[in-house]
Structure 1
């Protein structure tokens, strides 16, 4: 891992886990001191995070992008379009054994009520159904959305009932993927993504009340 990648992963993780809060100014000096590195890789990482939509430049300051209902809705709509498109291409290529492994991993994480583990399995699952060889532009768009999606995943975890519901939603998607039933798999995927959006929207509305 390069120094830039190290800085990127650290800052991204702090934003996704809400340690760097929306509208908070990120200090280059604090990051360089924390990671014991020069400013150059930190500045490069901040530029990448700006391209990902996690940071905004306000004057000469790097500020954590706000997480608004409108922004979450846009991410949800784009994610729904791209994942549904990808699913059409991948549904007959996804190994059944891999689906079985992920379903078991979901169940293990849910049994432990371990959100970090559960969200990693969630990430692995959605990457599995969207991985298409030979479609570099789709991969690029999904990569940009990945950072935004990670942020909304963690916000949805604040709902105490979300994990059990998410587990059932993923098991439903996996059921139809095993049967190579595209229509039902698309419906189950759309329902799951809508529930994620609803959970995040409810949390944000609560904060703004």
Structure 2
């Protein structure tokens, strides 16, 4: 997942439309469960039909939109899917840090070290949202296996809109930052088992905070027009 929302002048219209729409969905500017049409998006994004259609097909593949009749709907947040995603994350990320620690002497940390600098503590919620995703993608990169990177990128996308709720807690962000620092320290030290225990604890803490927020505030989300499924509801 892209760790920044900056737009490059070199982006094609297709890529720009895709990124703008993706950001609007992940940042819940377009609400979970909201109906969207190609024509409406053409007006909103000042784009022609072809790049809009291409973006929607790509986002459907990422699980962020679903077809509904002749149009689309922003995929509802599904608590059951998020629970499954965290089980997957735990399995993948514990393996990632073990592999990374085993090659500690050869690691290129230039991608991950800026994400644990002290000034990161004072970033805005928007910035922390991107940094948190980038950290886990860069951590996967340290394992030296592109399949892990793609897997983490995908699963972080699947849970991103739920995470958007949890990041507004400063206490939660501070704890996550400290845990990020510790995980990198253990990987650098070559201690794969301790790193695996640390990432397991980190993933579980994040899961518990997120699921608690979704379950306790679900009625409030419905009032605001956010579709949050409890994991047992039919599509």
When normalised by structure 2's length, the TM-score is 0.78
Q: Indicate whether 1:102 and 2:112 are aligned.
A: no
- Which of 178, 183, 198 pairs up with 1:188? 198
Distance 1:100 1:135 in 2: 19
Distance 2:116 2:143 in 1: 24
- Greater shift in the superposed pair: 95-104 or 57-66: 95-104
C-alpha change, 1:167 and 1:135, in structure 2 (3 Å) is: closer
- The answer to whether the 8 Å contact 2:25/2:74 transfers is yes
- The answer to whether the 8 Å contact 2:32/2:76 transfers is yes
When normalised by structure 1's length, the TM-score is 0.86
- The answer to whether the 8 Å contact 1:20/1:64 transfers is yes
- How do 1:34-183 residues align onto structure 2 when only pairs under 5 Å count? 34-91=44-101, 92=104, 93-95=106-108, 100-104=113-117, 107-110=118-121, 112-131=122-141, 135-183=145-193
- The answer to whether the 8 Å contact 1:31/1:42 transfers is yes
Q: Which has the higher helix share?
A: 1
- The answer to whether the 8 Å contact 1:23/1:65 transfers is yes
Distance 1:98 1:147 in 2: 19
The root-mean-square deviation of aligned C-alpha atoms, in Å, is: 2.3
Distance 2:107 2:159 in 1: 22
Per the alignment, residue 5 of structure 2 pairs with none
Distance 1:97 1:61 in 2: 43
Q: How many residues were matched structurally?
A: 206
Distance 1:134 1:99 in 2: 14
Distance 1:15 1:202 in 2: 22
